[in-house]
Each structure stands twice: as structure tokens, then as C-alpha cells.
Amino acid sequence: MFSKLLKLSFTIAIVMALAACGNNMPVTPILQTRTLSVPPPSHPVSVVTPTATQMPALEITPTSLPILTTSPNIGLTSKMHSVPIPGVFVNHLALDDKYIYWTESGGNLFRFPLASSKSTIATIFARTSFVKGILSGYPDQSLLRVGDWLIFDDRQITEQTGTWALRAINVETQTELNLAQGERPTILYTFSSDGEWVVWTTGNFSPDIVTAQNLQTGQRQELARSDPVQNGWEQVAVSAGQAAAIQLSDNGRTLFLFELNSGQSRKLLSDTTGSDMDGLTFDGNWIAWKTGTNYQGPTALYNLQTAKTELLPDWGIAPLLAGRWLTWNATPEQPLYMVDLENRQSFIVAEAQPGDELTSVAIYGNVIVWCRLHSDLGHTKVDSRVEWRTLP
């Protein structure tokens, strides 16, 4: 858990250092939104206790398909689109069928139309609620466009306070939900959503609490809480009414699956190899994570239907599942790779030039978007370019 806090602090430090770099792209005035605060539930919050079912140890077998054991060499032929954002560090990206959304070092959330012309400019869709704040400051995916909602974290970045909020904006009605808020020593570690449910983890190192809330009904329940034996709950990832969550203990890490409507849960597997299981991602039939520490090592791909786990090469930092697509944030100066899990094919989405980092990847339907961060040799100046293209 301490390593997660270090990653968060490091990301915020980078953003603070880059906030004064350059000028942002022109924007139109902020959209007016009606705010709907969500009070604590009037009924008692239900608590779900994970069931103690027989749990297999992690068994990873190399995939039998040669195309997934060597670097992809198939490049996409679709047209690449881009928007330059000089002097700005883009934190995270999200998109739907009409817009691309991104957060950047100035504490704004931008919206840009996919069907754009050269004269199109981005609009500010939301701002940080703090005098000095950052939106989507968590190093894992923390800007979500799911269902009717945009969901993101809002954090104070001054050293005097650790205030934070978990916010959701309905893109159709522009109403806002304040899902959770707190201040140091309580920390918001991670969150995820499928458009119906939002699940997040909070804590003060111990205990750590996993909370779920239904966006339509407001129903809230506590899924799990750590105790002196179970050292903590870390990442969560939500898909189709289910939440995958990782529990840390003295024996390693355990992957749980929660059924959000029924409250039932079960253990899927344990990993006693020392892996951080970083970059947990879940969509459809698959759950993926990195098998090493600090986002390093091959990617484990767990199939919910077969309960089997495959091992994919180390093709990037943080994996992302979206339907049948699996991709990664690329390591510096390396290509952006993608795998079609249904057809068992791998692709090169974009090539990197010296000084480039292809990161903040998001997928909606058959469109993939990413940020091309480019820094000079001394890393004193960073430029961003939002790029996107269609998938085969």
C-alpha cells in the first residue's frame, strides 16, 4: 500500500513542476453545471464479507500462439488524427462516440469533438474545486467515461492539506455527484466504474475499505474492510456489475471477484511470487495485471470462463482492457502495442520517436486515443499531442 502512495505522490510532484510550463491551447468558457450533492445513505450501509472458498495458486502458462510471444509487426493503416497541446502535461484521457476528454496540469478537464476541423478548440468541461488542485491525479486510470458519466478524482496539491473528492458528472444533464470526499490521513487509493456502479478504496494505511455505490439508485455498500490479519485492499476494477479487487496480506496478494447486485464474492487466485499485481484492469471475460513490481514484467491475462491464466510479453507499463482489446501505456520511446484477444492478433498502434512517451491510452468502440508526451533532453519542457485512430 505504501508503494501506491509513493506513486501517487511522485505523479503529483511531476504535475506541479510542469504546471508553469508553456501556455495551454485556447478554450471556451467553462460549461455551467448543476450540482447535486449526495448525502450519506439514510439506511445502514451493508457490509459484505468475502466467502472463504477454495483458492488456486497462480498458475501462468505461456500462450501457445507464436504471434503473442514476439513483438507485433502489423501496423494499423487507418488515418491518425492529432491535436497539439504545447507545454502541457496531459494526465489522463477518455472518450465516447462524440468527444475526447482529457485532464492536464492546470486542473481543468477538457472536451474536444471527434468530428473536428482545424479551427476547433477544446472546451473546459470541469475545473478542480480547489485553489491549487489537480484532476485525475492518480497514476492508474482515473478519468472514466462510462454509461452517462465522467468520473474522476479531484485533489488538493499543496503540502498543507491532503483534501480529495471523487466526482461524477452526467454528460447528458450536466448534474454532478460528489461520491466521496476526505482529507489526510484518509487517502483515496483507486476507483473504477462500469457506468452503473462505482467502486473505490480508501484508508489510512489500515484499515482499508472497499465501497460500492449504484449511480442510479444511490445504494451504497461496504464490500470489504481490512483487519489485522488481512493487511489491506488495493486496486479495484469494475465490469458489468462485477468488481475485481486485490487484497494484500503477509502471504502475497489475492484476487477477489464481487457480484455487486447480490453482494456475493469469491476468491479467484492468489499470487505469492512478490508481484505488485499493478495495473489491474477488467472488462468482459478477462482480467489483466502486471506480474512484476512497479508495472514491470509480463502481463497476466485471466479468463473468467475457463479460470485459466496466460502470460503475455512485457509490452508496456499499465494494461488496459476494453472488450476484446488489450493495450498498454508504452514504455518511453517504445511503440504502442495492442492485442485483439478474440482473433489472437497483435498490432503496432503507433511508433515512438526519440523523447516520446505514448501514454494515457483509452478505447471506446473501435477508436483508440493516446497522448504523445515529448520532452527535451533535460526534461525541462514537455509537450503533449492527443492522437487517435480507428481499430480494425
Measured between its terminal Cα atoms, the distance across the chain in Å is 39
pLDDT band at 230 (very low <50, low <70, confident <90, very high): low
Count of alpha carbons within 13 angstroms of residue 86, beta-carbon side? 3
Cell 457480484 sits on residue? 259
Secondary structure (3-state) at 84: strand
pLDDT band at 69 (very low <50, low <70, confident <90, very high): low
Provide the pLDDT for residue 228: 66
Tens of pLDDT, residue by residue over 335-350, are 999 999 998 889 999 9
H-helix or E-strand containing 96? none
Tell which residue, 372, 368, 370, 390, has the closest CA to residue 382: 372
The type of residue at 42 is S
Provide the pLDDT for residue 382: 85
Residue 83's region, left for phi above 0, alpha for psi from -120 to 50, else beta, is beta
Q: Is the distance from CB of 93 to CB of 101 less than 8 angstroms?
A: yes
Cell 464490500 sits on residue? 223
Tens of pLDDT, residue by residue over 141-167, are 899 999 999 999 999 987 667 899 999
Task: Give this prediction's pTM.
Answer: 0.84
User: What gap in Å lies between CA 4 and CA 371, rounded to an integer?
Assistant: 23
For domain 2-390, give the fold.
Methylamine Dehydrogenase; Chain H (2.130.10)
Provide the pLDDT for residue 118: 67
- Can you read off the three cell numbers belonging to residue 274? 512478490
Q: How far is CA 190 from CA 152, 180, 236, 251, 306, in A?
A: 10, 12, 7, 22, 28
